[in-house]
Structure 1
Amino acid sequence: MRPATDTSILRPYGFPRLLVAVLACLFVAAAAAQGSSYEDSLSSARLGDTRQLAALLARGIDPNTVDAQGNSLLMLAAREGHKATVETLLRYRPSLGLRNLAGDSALMLAVLKGHEDVADLLLAAGAPVDQDGWTPLHYAAFEGRTALVDKLLASGARIDAPAPNQATPLMIAARNGHIDVVRRLLAAGADVDLKNDRGLTADAWARAQGNTDIAALIEAARTRRR
């Protein structure tokens, strides 16, 4: 005769309560795993761990996952110059126009840090070169990144886009003493008569910073255009 099944361990809760408890445990475990995947994805993008990030993306991690500062996976990888990681992310069609809490896009961060190979990837993928406020061209001008200025202009960047302080890329390059960038922008037709929120033209701002050679270059361009 088969012994009766001992169900005494179920009695304090009853079967329905035990089922609920088991499901709750599974939910907590799933939530913990999801949280771990979230942190792992951010870390992978930041550190350039392409293999781990590719595995997480294949498992369904959102390619537009962001950290507490609004930096997407693409922004983190672009900022650090991880070309292979950026390439992998682009296969999952992330939003190229996302901006973090500071207003920066992936392309802006790549330009700011001088990662030309990453910027090339983003431009080829169709990353926007213009937006309200600061733009990639402003950042290239600020840092004196002549090659990136050329690439952005070739991609259709607005040469006289105003920053929040009404500064144009020409003004910023002139103020910071980047004469090669100033030459490029003048050759491309940058407006020499625009003023920032302090009422300064590019040459006036250059002169205020002691960049007299740049001020003279801009003044000569103004004279030729009249």
Structure 2
Amino acid sequence: MNAAARALITVSAAFFMASAQAELPDPSRFGRAMEMGDIRSASRWLDEGLPPDFEADVTGSGLMIAAAEGNIRLMELFVERGANIDYVSRIGEQAIALAAWKGHQRAVEWLIERGASLNPPDKTWSALHYAAFAGKTRIVDLLLRNGAKLDARAPNLATPLMMAVREGNEGIVKALVDAGASTTAVSDRGENALAWALRYNRLKIATLVAPPENVAEAVSAPPVAAPPPPQASIPAPPEVSELLNKLRQAEAQGKPTEALRRQFMAAVERHRKTSAKQTVKAAPSALVISAKRGKAGAERAELVAGAATPAVQTLAEDAGAVDILRAIQAAQAKGQPTEELRRRFRAEVDKLRQSAQ
């Protein structure tokens, strides 16, 4: 083979490699495709050189998104292609924690069967933290049976028991206490489970985590201001949800969406009229709707009790990356803008990266 031929082959190889690389997704596109369970694209991207632990813009790696969605087939694909089953995302989360938080018991079992660790490094949110927070009783029991650390510490030193107390998950509080969880461990603010119970007005739960005399003494102390009660919501009916899902899929696949969009808005209007006749006891209600042409996943429809205060206005100034992520997810669920939250999230992640260097 002469020099000219070798040069031609080298140039051709470089061209095809560059073309393949150019087709790899950015974090946003990757995350959207994985949330939709697009196994075909995932397989193709991995074939073209996408790292198996590549992270999306918000949730984390492909395996983590699959776990959060309870998508076993997609989880299998990433693990078969070399994804780290215990991979910790840039905000300190793992696949098994997200599966536990979303209540996907089969996904949690699948990860445990393949050796996923239930006890991440200290000062990391564990699967037990997330299951206790989300009120997933069966998953809490599953994790405890498989050796999850009872008093694992989160970045703010909170224990799973504190998270269950915070959310008022009485059955889980009792299960953790019965299993031997510490009721005296304190957070980075020096507060134990009893303090959290009183802060969030969980008086019955307070009696589960402290002797009666301690509860009485704490109750007689100056009151600690509690956050406003959570707002009740009425989800959009199946018709709206189904049309919204079809609209997202059509946009992601580059198909025409005008007809679907008209159907979606008509269904939302019918829901609005029906909802106006309903009464939400928690507070006056409003139907939050968001629809942006040409932006996949932007359409939302949900009847929310109380004023729809943008999450960015209620998020503390010193909130960490995990708190901001939760605010993004809450805002998305309510159809609220997320651009400012995403900007803060990226800034916080950059801080974490700089501090780690």
Alignment TM-score, normalising by the size of structure 1: 0.78
Matches within 5 A, 1:132-151: 132=122, 133-151=124-142
Which consecutive residues of structure 2, in runs of 5 or more, have no partner in the other structure? 215-357
Q: Secondary structure at the match of 1:79?
A: helix
Deviation at 1:190, TM superposition (A): 0.6
Matches within 5 A, 1:145-224: 145-220=136-211
Is residue 33 from structure 1 mapped to residue 24 from structure 2 by the alignment?
no
- Report if the CA contact (8 A) 2:103-2:136 is conserved: yes
In structure 1, what is the equivalent of residue 52 of structure 2? Answer: 64
Is residue 105 from structure 1 mapped to residue 64 from structure 2 by the alignment?
no
Deviation at 1:192, TM superposition (A): 1.2
Deviations 1:20-64 (A, max 9, x none): 46633441222221342566976654421334544665x475662
More strand by share: 2
Deviations 1:137-190 (A, max 9, x none): 111111111111111111211101111212111111112211011011011111
Greater RCO structure (CA 8 Å; 6+ sep): 1
Deviations 1:117-151 (A, max 9, x none): 21111111111111122111111111111111111
Matches within 5 A, 1:67-146: 67=55, 69=57, 71-131=60-120, 132=122, 133-146=124-137
Alignment TM-score, normalising by the size of structure 2: 0.51
Deviations 1:187-222 (A, max 9, x none): 111111111122221122101210001001222599
> Which stretch has the larger CA shift, 60-69 or 148-157?
60-69
Larger radius of gyration: 1
Deviation at 1:81, TM superposition (A): 2.2
The count of aligned residue pairs is 208
Deviations 1:84-139 (A, max 9, x none): 21133333453111111111111112122222221111111111111122111111
The verdict on how the C-alpha distance between 1:41 and 1:172 changes in structure 2, with shifts beyond 3 A counting, is closer
